[in-house]
């Protein structure tokens, strides 16, 4: 799969929405579905960058880099890294991570990500890409938008 091209997704259309939803279904057992409006909102945010890997015209992987300023410096986060099951084992995930790291270098700051321990291949990839395991707890709370 040498014909893999990685670029920042610039617009939402039926093809990209379907491809992103296909990838999301492979990422997590939790049901996440993006609409064209949601994808356009992501793509129009100056602090959110969705990169996709193309094999020809087909989207076969994605990675998101988000960033923000905090009193302790610029923070960058990698989110939603997934490669289509039919395209795995061809270093597409590695190329996506390398692309995200290079992009983060254009901003500067601390680049972070989380990964479930059960995702052995992903964790090995992140370690081999130079990420260091940080001893910390991650907490989450779902907040519904108030009317």
Q: Is residue 136 helix, strand or coil?
A: coil
**Rounded CA gap, 143 and 85, in Å?**
32
Residue 51: in which H helix or E strand, if any? strand 48-55
**Rounded CA gap, 114 and 28, in Å?**
14
57's torsion region: left (phi>0), alpha (psi -120 to 50) or beta? alpha
> Domains of the chain: which residue ranges?
4-128
Fold classification of 4-128 (topology level): Aminopeptidase (3.40.630)
pLDDT, tens digit (0-9, with 9 covering 90-100), for 76-132 = 999 999 999 999 999 999 999 999 999 999 999 999 999 989 989 999 999 999 999
pTM of the shown model:
0.93
pLDDT, tens digit (0-9, with 9 covering 90-100), for 3-59 = 999 999 999 999 999 999 999 999 988 888 999 999 999 999 999 999 999 999 999
**Rounded CA gap, 138 and 136, in Å?**
7
């Amino acid at each position: 799969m040498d014909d893999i091209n990685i670029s920042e997704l610039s617009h939402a259309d039926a093809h990209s929405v379907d491809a992103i939803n296909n990838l999301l279904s492979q990422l997590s057992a939790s049901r996440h579905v993006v609409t064209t409006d949601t994808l356009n909102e992501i793509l129009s945010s100056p602090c959110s960058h969705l990169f996709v890997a193309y094999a020809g015209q087909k989207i076969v992987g994605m990675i998101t880099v988000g960033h923000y300023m905090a009193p302790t410096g610029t923070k960058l986060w990698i989110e939603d890294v997934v490669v289509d099951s039919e395209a795995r084992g061809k270093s597409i995930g590695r190329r996506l991570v390398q692309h995200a790291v290079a992009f983060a270098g254009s901003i500067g700051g601390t680049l972070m990500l989380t990964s479930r321990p059960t995702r052995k291949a992903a964790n090995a990839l992140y370690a081999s890409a130079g990420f260091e395991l940080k001893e910390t707890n991650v907490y989450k709370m779902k907040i519904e938008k108030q009317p």
